[in-house]
Amino acid sequence: MESHSSTMLAAVLTLLVSLPAVSLASASCNFPAIFNFGDSNSDTGGLSAVFGQARSPHGETFFHHPAGRYCDGRLVIDFIAKSLGLPYLSAYLDSVGSNFTHGANFATAGSTIRPQNTTLQQSGFSPISLNVQYNEFYDFLPRSQVARTQGHNTFYFITTGLKCSTTLTIVNSEAEGNYLLCNVGGVFEQLMPKAEAFSRGLHTFDIGQNDLTAGLFMNMSVAQVKAIVPDVLDQFKKVIKYVHSQGGRNFWIHNTGPVGCLPYVLDRLPVLVSEMDRHGCATPFNELAQFFNRGLKHSVVQLRKELPSAAITYVDVYKAKACCGHGGKYNFNVHLGCGGKIKVHGKEILVAKACKDPSVWVNWDGVHYTEAANKKIFDQIVDGSLSDPPVPLKMACHKHQ
């Protein structure tokens, strides 16, 4: 019996030694911050801050008012932050009410990896491409640390709500009243990330879909769009390396979803009946997305070899993946988006209304997913079952071979 037990113990030890390192690393990473790069799938207010707020009914399900997201509620990045015990990310471009203690969001709706060299009004795609987002990150890193450490004394009215150590009363003056003598550096110390957050934080990327649709909307064939994918991915790899050069070590990279199932693509691009699958999606466009994803996965494999100190996780959201609009076969009108109004006899009338129950819909406005769909996607990726390697989100700081 003892001999049998010893044999079993030896077998178990041998099995444990042979397991990948990530399987043995059980400690959660305790990410102090998230730095996100992307497009509308993860934009928490960047485009709204620059080009005007996403209008109602965006945000109605969770925030109960527009919250910078092109969704009825929360995005996958919101669920990621919540699961890590972090607050929802403030958009880097939003100067009102933002707190960057636990990271920053550089994503803007309509962003691409490769610069489009057009205006938002001309093409519908954001001028804040991935290289611009990196430049923002590159600038934010040193400036945030300067703001944390270099303050100066400034007077504030006692009613400002700031917590400062010194109170000063001025009498017999036009400026008579009670004041707080505050060190401004101390204020920003509460609003900016610590230096170690940049190396210990999670750097998330969800971008690439718009590079495909931008090509298709410029009347490029699927074959022509495929031909530019290598250049798109080269530019993506460069940005990952740039972030790594600034101390980033933990990367969580989403691939792109089935673009051939999105109403705004189906509405604008002609598709033969024979090219539609049983779900009503356009097979050529979904095959294009899968082509991009294969290239992205190969790029991640290359990056792991070139950046051995980095932990890089590739997340297959394609496998995980309209409620608000007006008119047309797909309840989508490119000229009248969600919340759109028309004038009738000089009076504005809301026609692009939200459906009664977004929770039972996958698509929100013909372009973006509902909160319910985003939550479903998150639930499928958080445990690592759709990741390469299959590492849970909370353990994405562990390096993989």
| pLDDT band at residue 46 under the 50/70/90 scheme | very high
Reported as a pLDDT band with limits 50, 70 and 90, residue 185 is low
| pLDDT interval class at 399 (50, 70, 90) | confident
Cα→Cα distances 323→40, 72, 262, 371, 377, Å: 17, 9, 12, 11, 18
Residue 204 pLDDT? 98
pLDDT of 222 > 50? The answer is yes
Angle of the 209-217 helix axis to the 283-306 helix axis, nearest 10: 140
Q: Could you say which of 39, 299, 365, 387 is catalytic?
A: 365
- 119-123, 220-224, 361-365, range with the lowest pLDDT: 361-365
Is 365 a catalytic site residue? yes
Confidence of residue 259 (pLDDT cuts 50, 70, 90): very high
* Mean pLDDT score, 85-90: 98
DSSP strand pairing (34-38 vs 202-206): parallel
Catalytic residue among 58, 102, 368, 398: 368
Is 90 exceeded by the pLDDT of residue 381? yes
- Concerning whether 48 is annotated as a catalytic residue, the answer is no
Residue range 317-326: average pLDDT?
A: 59
Tell me which residue of 248, 243, 239, 254 sits closest to 130, measured CA to CA: 239
pLDDT tops 80 at residue 170:
no
Q: Which of 39, 40, 203, 211 is catalytic?
A: 40
